Amino acid sequence: MASHRKSRPAGTRVAGIRTPTLATAALTSVALLSQSANAAPEADDKPSLEEVEKKVDDLYRQAESATDKYNSAKEKTTKQRKRVDTLLDDVAQRTQKLNEAREELGSFAAAQYRTGAAAPDTATFLLADTPQDYFDQTQLMDRMTGRQKVAVDDYVTQQSETMKKRQEATESLETLTETQGDLKTAKATVQRKLADARDLLSKLTAEEKARLAAIEREKRQEAARKAAELARQQAAQEQAQEQAAQQQDSGSSSTGSGSSTSTAPADSSYATKAEKALAFARAQIGKPYVWGAVGPGSYDCSGLTQAAWKAAGVTLPRTTYDQVNAGTTVSLADAQPGDLVFFYDDISHVGIYIGNGMMIHAPKPGAYVREESIYYDGQSAIHSVVRPA
């Protein structure tokens, strides 16, 4: 006789409780999700390629900013060292003169000793803590001969000036020590940022490096597009200016004036200098970027612009922070070949404009002097344009 009991649903028991199949599946899903959650942090620990690129670019930019601080500290250290050397030489010369003045006074004291003369008491003068202390307590000057008075005056003057120069030299040495400390700090910062960037890049796979190169190409193409657009705008502006000049010349001729006002000589003067600066900059293309370098074998960004304009007879300061103030600020639309284009809010990079939205610059560590769009890092990265002469 067949059993009429209903069969139990398939399932399992957990701690004595029957678990339906659906509940089992749910527990399995929870377990899998838990495993995925545990594994997720490991996957998230690795930044995306775009994040790596941004981090590397930021590190290079920080290194370049630190490089300018290094350059500034190095320049100050060089100047301060020269000042210290000059002061020490001056102290040595004044000390020699002081010794000569002391010897002359000593000769008077010796003569007094030999003759037994009681006045003027030059020996007592020499033994006083300071000449002024002695003068305050005696009437020595009234008892001295003319020659002795001249010798004492000379001694007092030499002693005062020597003490003053020694104090200046001491203070300058302290300042030199401080600037040397700043120099070491800036150098260490540059080296640390570069090492961090190299470490990040070394962890990329071959596929990731290829992708990073593709991203860089896309950025260059976008920069080229913007440069071409700027070139078209500048060409249109120049054409409009030329047409306006022709109309002005035509009007002057019809009135029989026979002359016209022009600013060409000033523009021509700048163009001549800029041409020399650009010729020098082009000759440096292919040379490596090296932080703190001013040529001739390698350059950093401000070292290149400084050397280029020096070739044109114009002296620029060493760092981007100072170069941005060494000229007249102009709008990007009015930029002319030879102008300096500065980048980022901290003014940590500079290139020399060559026209059509392009520049020559020493880009960053690991790169070489090259022609590149001024939009290589986006238009927002452009800080200002300065005409240095």
Give catalytic residue positions.
Answer: 301, 349, 361
Give the bridge partners for 351, in sequence order. Answer: 341
- AA identity, residue 205: T
Total Cβ atoms within 10 A of residue 258: 7
Of the candidates 384, 346, 347, 341, the residue with the CA atom closest to the CA atom of residue 360: 341
Tokens, residue 61: 């930019």
Length, in residues, of the chain: 389
Q: Which of 273, 262, 251, 242 is nearest to 336 (CA)?
A: 273
Q: In this structure, what are the phi and psi dihedrals at residue 291, rounded to the nearest 5 degrees?
A: -65, 135
* The two three-digit tokens of residue 338, written as one number: 């030879």
The single residue listed with the structure tokens 């305050």 is 136
